[in-house]
């Protein structure tokens, strides 16, 4: 699979040959997956041995719950300040992963400017500078997460392949997500809007992500979804409806999430934090979106969440297909 990102092209996806006319058995007229210059060698719920995910020159050698021996995750300047409810020293320059997902990684070069993790997945992080991506959610590893941090996206999430995904990250488009074609998906991440989340209307939802708003999300057909975040959005959070959610991402705050009033929730997205999410107290979760990241969401692992943070987006929402979504990122 040669996903050439910024001239990215699919040659093969899921072991099938694509002659630029067919993707997962579906005719794709003008699939020009031109992502910057990034390439996948393999994706599909199996360990990716020599995957060249070039993230501005970032590389995964392995993804999907297997140890990553010589992973060169070169992010731009993004790193975590805290993960998995443990405090971390705020050093933003020379940080190292010694372990990911509880397994030792011998020669992993996660370059976050030159930042490296010392540990991941329920262990303390000594000198971690996490700006904008998720290493672990709720103390469980995210198995096959392809975090694109310049234009971050997921190729595979939770060990399942995304069959006929046409990810165009220059003006990113999905031709299909999870093996189902997406007809007229117009997720425009400049001013993106949700009207409904999880198939239920959101009555007093003030999703203001600069002017960002949700229109509809969660496996229901999204007719005219304009998910325009300035670059960031959630397609779905925890798969439950949000009744009176006031997501204000200028100084973003949740008033309520999942219909329950979080009592002392201080979502501060300069250094934004969740104190409670979905009515459950989240003890020391540091969602920092100037240095944004999730430590846990609702106390349960989020299986198929694709958090795009600079231009982060979801490939799949709540494990169901999104029918008429046009995910057009700012890039």
* Residues 51-55, mean pLDDT to the nearest whole number: 28
pLDDT the model gives residue 241: 25
Q: Give me the pLDDT at residue 17, please.
A: 33
Residue 95: pLDDT band with limits 50, 70, 90:
very low
CA 144 from chain center: how many Å?
11
Residue 12 has what pLDDT? 36
Are 12 and 1 in contact by the 8 Å Cβ rule? The answer is yes
Instruction: Return the biggest CA–CA distance within the chain.
Output: 54
pLDDT at 100: 38
Q: What is the per-residue pLDDT for 144?
A: 28
**pLDDT tens string 298-321:** 332 222 232 222 222 333 333 323
Specify the pLDDT at position 275. Answer: 33
- What does the block give as tokens for 244? 């009176």
CA 62 vs CA 40, 49, 256, 298, 308: distances in Å: 11, 5, 38, 28, 20
Confidence of residue 296 (pLDDT cuts 50, 70, 90): very low
- Label the pairing between strands 196-197 and 99-100: unpaired
pLDDT tens-digit readout, 23-50:
333 333 222 222 222 223 233 332 222 2
pTM of the predicted model as reported, rounded to 2 decimal places:
0.11
In the chain, the percentage of residues whose pLDDT exceeds 90 is 0
Q: What is the mean pLDDT of the chain?
A: 30
Alpha-carbon distance 267 to 287, whole Å?
Answer: 8
Instruction: Please count the CA atoms within 13 angstroms of the CA of 138 that sit on its side-chain side.
Output: 14
What CA–CA distance (Å, rounded) separates 153 from 190? 16
Which neighbouring-strand residues pair with 331?
Answer: none
Structure confidence by residue, pLDDT tens digits, 56-88: 222 233 333 322 332 223 222 223 333 333 323
Name the band, by pLDDT with cuts 50, 70 and 90, for residue 270: very low
* pLDDT confidence band for 165 (50 / 70 / 90): very low
Q: Looking at residue 59, what is its pLDDT?
A: 29
Q: For the residues 101-126, what does the mean pLDDT come to?
A: 31
Give the β-pairing of 12-13 and 16-17: antiparallel
Q: Supply the pLDDT for residue 88.
A: 31
Angle at 274 between CA 270 and CA 276, to 5 degrees: 160
Task: Give the model confidence (pLDDT) of 218-235 as tens digits.
Answer: 332 222 233 222 222 333
Rounded CA gap, 240 and 258, in Å?
Answer: 6
Summarised one tens digit per residue, pLDDT across range 278-292 is 332 332 222 222 222
Instruction: Give the separation between CA 12 and CA 20, rounded to whole angstroms.
Output: 9
């Amino acid at each position: 699979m040669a996903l050439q990102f910024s001239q990215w092209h699919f040659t093969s996806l899921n072991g099938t040959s694509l002659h630029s006319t067919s993707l997962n058995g579906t005719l794709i007229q003008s699939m020009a997956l031109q992502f910057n210059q990034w390439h996948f060698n393999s994706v599909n719920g199996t360990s990716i041995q020599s995957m060249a995910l070039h993230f501005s020159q970032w590389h995964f050698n392995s993804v999907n719950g297997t140890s990553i021996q010589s992973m060169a995750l070169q992010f731009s300047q993004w790193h975590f300040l805290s993960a998995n409810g443990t405090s971390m020293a705020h050093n933003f320059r020379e940080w190292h992963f010694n372990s990911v997902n509880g397994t030792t990684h011998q020669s992993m070069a996660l370059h976050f400017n030159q930042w490296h993790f010392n540990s991941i997945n329920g262990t303390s992080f000594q000198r971690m500078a996490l700006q904008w991506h998720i290493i672990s959610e709720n103390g469980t590893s995210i198995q096959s997460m392809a975090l694109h941090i310049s234009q971050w996206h997921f190729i595979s999430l939770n060990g399942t392949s995304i069959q006929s995904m046409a990810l165009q990250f220059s003006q990113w488009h999905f031709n299909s997500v999870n093996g189902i074609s997406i007809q007229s998906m117009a997720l425009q991440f400049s001013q993106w809007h949700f009207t409904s989340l999880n198939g239920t209307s959101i009555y007093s939802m003030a999703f203001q992500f600069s002017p960002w708003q949700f229109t509809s999300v969660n496996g229901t057909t999204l007719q005219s979804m304009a998910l325009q975040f300035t670059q960031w959005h959630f397609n779905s959070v925890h798969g439950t409806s949000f009744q009176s959610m006031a997501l204000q991402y200028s100084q973003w705050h949740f008033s309520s999430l999942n219909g329950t009033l979080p009592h002392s929730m201080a979502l501060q997205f300069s250094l934004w934090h969740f104190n409670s999410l979905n009515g459950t107290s989240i003890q020391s979760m540091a969602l920092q979106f100037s240095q944004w990241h999730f430590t846990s969401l609702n106390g349960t692992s989020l299986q198929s969440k694709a958090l795009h943070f600079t231009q982060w987006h979801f490939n799949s929402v709540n494990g169901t297909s999104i029918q008429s979504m046009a995910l057009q990122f700012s890039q």
